[in-house]
Amino acid sequence: MNPTELGTLVLAATPIGRVEDASSRLAGELATADVIAAEDTRRLRRLCTELGVTTTGRVVSYFEGNESARTPTLVDALLAGERVLLVTDAGMPSVSDPGFRLVAAAVVHDITVTSVPGPSAVLSALAVSGLPVDRFCFEGFLPRKAGERARRLTELAKEQRTMVFFEAPHRTETALAAMAEAFGGDRAAAVCRELTKTHEEVRRGPLEELVAWASDGVRGEVTLVVTGAEPAAEVGTDPDEWRSLVAELEEEGVRRKDAILDVARRAGVPKREVYDAVHKES
């Protein structure tokens, strides 16, 4: 089929808080799209009402539970030359939200994919965190199971870029505690809560302080920003060197637990190996 006869897939960012953040382009796409695929059709109707927009196209649901089954139907609409608008509850589709499958399928068929940029919890949190923004990575949601979460964070312990995470409010304290365990309690971070909303709050500080703050309970949408690791000096594999470095850090006031973790990261070995080396001589 001639590419000019194909439709266009439009990924549109929706407000993460205030409806005033919606762009005029979003309103225009909502009013003219042939098909609107929405993560929650009720929220879509509410958004259209608040924007004063009347939709003229077909509205279908497109969420995690039906994403696989609904994608072929939407691809058929695109192949038929229709303009398909994809919106999620908040932010940009496919970023920790439904959308990736549809984008990938559209690309396979040489269908044009474009976006209506707008609100982003990732970029908003990064910008207000006060942490380095020159290089960063988005890690989405951490695994819910403790073991898997610990393994993921251990893998990230040496990451030098600023890291951005999403987290559920009731798991925020647990996530921060796991980060403190993996990265060290003195690692700088920020908890960004209810971004752009009436009760927006940004809490900054070392991870260990943020764990204590979160113990009183956290409400609302949460985005966590954690500074990356400092470039580490080369540390060899000699246990005597590990013991010496741990001792030096303890003399500087670092807790033994954190000193062991730091040396293990720098040496590129499991912290248990450094722990065993240190306590063998204790």
Percent of the chain at pLDDT > 90 equals 78
Dihedral sign, CA of 74, 77, 79, 81? negative
Edge-first strand order for the sheet with 201-206 is: 136-141, 162-167, 222-226, 188-193, 201-206
What is the Cα–Cα distance from 161 to 120, expressed in whole angstroms? 19
Reply yes or no on whether the pLDDT at 253 is more than 90. no
Residues facing 95 on adjacent strands:
none
The tens digit of pLDDT for each residue in 123-139 reads 999 999 999 999 999 99
Could you say which DSSP state residue 81 is in?
T
Query: What's the Cα-to-Cα distance from 173 to each of 19, 37, 55, 226, 261, rounded to whole Å?
Result: 29, 35, 42, 14, 21
What is the Cα–Cα distance from 164 to 124, expressed in whole angstroms? 11
The tens digit of pLDDT for each residue in 3-38 reads 568 999 999 999 999 999 999 999 999 999 999 999
Q: Domain 122-226: what homologous superfamily? A: Tetrapyrrole methylase, C-terminal domain (3.30.950.10)
CATH of domain 3-119: 3.40.1010.10
Please report, for the chain, the start and end positions of each structural domain, with discontinuous segments joined by +: 3-119, 122-226, 239-280
Mean pLDDT of 232-244: 79
The angle formed by the CA atoms of residues 229, 192 and 117, to the nearest 5 degrees, is 95
